[in-house]
Amino acid sequence: MKSFGMRRKYLFRKHQEKERFPMADRELLSQREFLSIGDVLREMDIDFIVAGEYGITVDEAARFIHHPHFIFLDVRTQEERDHLTFPFSLHIPLNALPDRVDEVPRDKFIITFCLSGFRAAMGYAFLRTQGFDEVKALKGRLDELAGAMKPERFYRLLP
């Protein structure tokens, strides 16, 4: 279920589409129900970036590691994953994501991550073009995520 803020943002985007696209283009857009990369980039104005709309911090994300509604999508290469594995994540390398996007559950909140955040942001943008509304990129380094997995951290997260 979408939160009120997510729903409001969705309705605002729909309103913006009416402003940006003539009627014929709007009908085509609603038929495919996907955003173009241009649409995703248009969302990324200064307010979007300053508010951090595209991302989630490691501290925020750590609370959702074992939450059933959240999927951590590891977009690193297989070689990188062989060196450090996150057992709670779904691994699909960024270069394979276009061919394997159907493996990503559409009814979950997706958090993309990689070594530095660059590929996570690209994964975020790609998933947005594929109709995923609940998606964020991890803002932070991989060593911070590994640090979030320490046993005492999980102990503090328990209810």
- Name all contacts of 7-12 with Cβ < 8 Å and 24+ positions apart: 10/133
Judged by average pLDDT, the poorest of 34-43, 94-103, 104-113 is: 34-43
Report the run of H or E that residue 136 belongs to, with start and end.
strand 135-139
Integer Cα distance of 120 and 140 in angstroms? 10
pLDDT at 111: 96
- E-only strand ranges, 26-68: 55-57
pLDDT at 38: 78
Average pLDDT over residues 118-144: 88
Integer Cα distance of 99 and 12 in angstroms? 31
> How many beta carbons lie within 10 A of that of residue 110, not counting itself?
21
Judged by average pLDDT, the poorest of 39-43, 91-95, 104-108 is: 39-43
In the 8-state DSSP scheme, what is residue 115? S
Which has the higher per-residue pLDDT, 72 or 41?
Answer: 72
Integer Cα distance of 77 and 109 in angstroms? 22
Integer Cα distance of 33 and 59 in angstroms? 33
- pTM, two decimals, is 0.68
